[in-house]
Amino acid sequence: MTSPYAGWLPPTHTNVISSTHLKGGGTTKTTCAILLGHALSRFGHSVRVVSYDALHSAVSWAEKAQDHLSLTAGAYRPWPENYFVEPANTPEELYGLVHGSTEEFTIIDGGPADPDALQTIARLSHRIILPTEPSMLVAEQVTPVVEYVNEVEEEQGRKIPCQVLLVRVMTGSKLTGTVEDALSAVNISMMKTRIPNNGMVTRAAHTVPTRLYGYEFVAEELLAA
Ligand SMILES: Nc1ncnc2c1ncn2[C@@H]1O[C@H](COP(=O)(O)OP(=O)(O)O)[C@@H](O)[C@H]1O
Ligand SMILES: [Mg+2]
């Protein structure tokens, strides 16, 4: 059956990047969306994050940081003026906020882990990032995402670069190499940047972070692409 959203395309006036996954909570999608947004904003680009997630943790992050309500924050740092975070609760709201974005970059924090939502996100995206922990189950979780994105590529007759971002990478762990090999063996593309595992990232939630924990390199890689 053809999806009612099959005709939806990304806008041409803003660069839409999604941080999403089929696996549900805890893949670091929201952290990726928010910290990548800060990186792009610090490089001088305007950013809109659209939270497409029932819990809207991205919105709560921005609001708590603006109100200085984090339990872990140090000195108050103002939220950047070129950085906006908005909630979308329906595909139509998502479409409206993505197409209505007047920012240079629009980042979708794609929370819901079902194929329909993933394909809706893909239809509106120029590029997809799949934040993924190096675990033995990783290839299994990534392959179906790539297949759903491939369906949208065929439907729309365009390429949608879809890359794994390895996150929470432990230094010296052999597992990371094993997972990289497993992903390469099934032709899954990976970003060059790896995000190290760092407990400070958890403390950065609900703040304007002082450091970007590797997301500045993700931003550089995207800007160079
Ligand atoms: N690089 C990292 N190192 C350690 N913990 C991380 C890292 N990135 C994210 N986390 C933590 O992982 C948890 C899940 O992250 P979150 O962004 O909320 O995932 P999702 O949006 O996919 O549910 C959070 O507690 C977050 O602070
Ligand atoms: Mg989330």
Q: Which atom, in ligand 1's list, is nearest to the CA of 21?
A: 22
Domain ranges of the chain: 15-224
Measured from CB, residues less than 6 Å from any atom of ligand 1 are 25-31, 57, 167-168, 195, 197-199, 201-202, 205, 213
| 212 CA distance to ligand 2 middle (Å) | 17
Q: For residue 141, name the pLDDT band (cuts at 50, 70, 90).
A: confident
Q: Decide: pTM greater than 0.75.
A: yes
Please give the number of the atom of ligand 1 that sits closest to the Cα of 58: 21
pLDDT(139) > 80: no
Residue 168's alpha-carbon distances to 29, 38, 58, 178, in angstroms, are 12, 19, 19, 15
Q: Which is the closest atom of ligand 1 to the Cα of 32?
A: 17
CA atoms of 80 and 77, how far apart (whole Å): 9
pLDDT, one tens digit per residue, over 122-136 is: 999 999 999 999 987
Q: Give the pair of three-digit tokens for residue 166.
A: 């390895």
Q: Tell me the pairing of strands 105-110 and 127-132.
A: unpaired
Q: How many CB atoms lie within 10 A of CB 169?
A: 18
Tokens 């550089």 found at:
220
Sheet containing 83-87: order of strands: 83-87, 47-52, 105-110, 15-20, 127-132, 162-166
pLDDT attached to residue 200:
94
Q: Residue 163 has which token pair?
A: 């890359």
Mutating to test ligand 1, I would choose from 193, 201, 211, 215 the residue with most ligand atoms within 8 A of its C-beta, which is 201
Pocket test for ligand 1, best of 51, 200, 202 (most atoms within 8 A of CB): 202
Ligand nearest to the CA of 59: 2
At a CB cut-off of 8 Å and minimum separation 6, what does 29 contact?
A: 19, 20, 21, 109, 110, 111, 131
Cα(201)–Cα(54) distance, integer angstroms = 22
With residue 198 as reference, give the H or E element that holds it: none
Q: Which residues contact 219 (CB under 8 A, 6 or more apart)?
A: 36, 39, 40, 43
Upper half-sphere CA count for residue 199 (Cβ side, 13 Å): 1
pLDDT in tens, 59-82: 999 999 998 877 776 778 899 999
| Nearest-10 crossing angle of helices 115-123, 138-156 | 50
Provide, rounded to the nearest whole percent, the portion of the chain with pLDDT above 90: 80
Residue among 18, 21, 30, 31 whose CB has most ligand 1 atoms within 8 A, to mutate: 31
Question: pLDDT tens-digit profile of 78-118?
Answer: 999 999 999 999 999 999 999 999 999 999 999 877 899 99
Q: Ligand 1 atom 9: the closest Cα is on which residue?
A: 28
Query: Closest ligand 1 atom, CA of 203?
Result: 27
Average pLDDT of span 217-223: 98
> Residue 16 pLDDT > 70, yes or no?
yes
- Residue identified by tokens 């390469």 is 184
CATH number of 15-224: 3.40.50.300
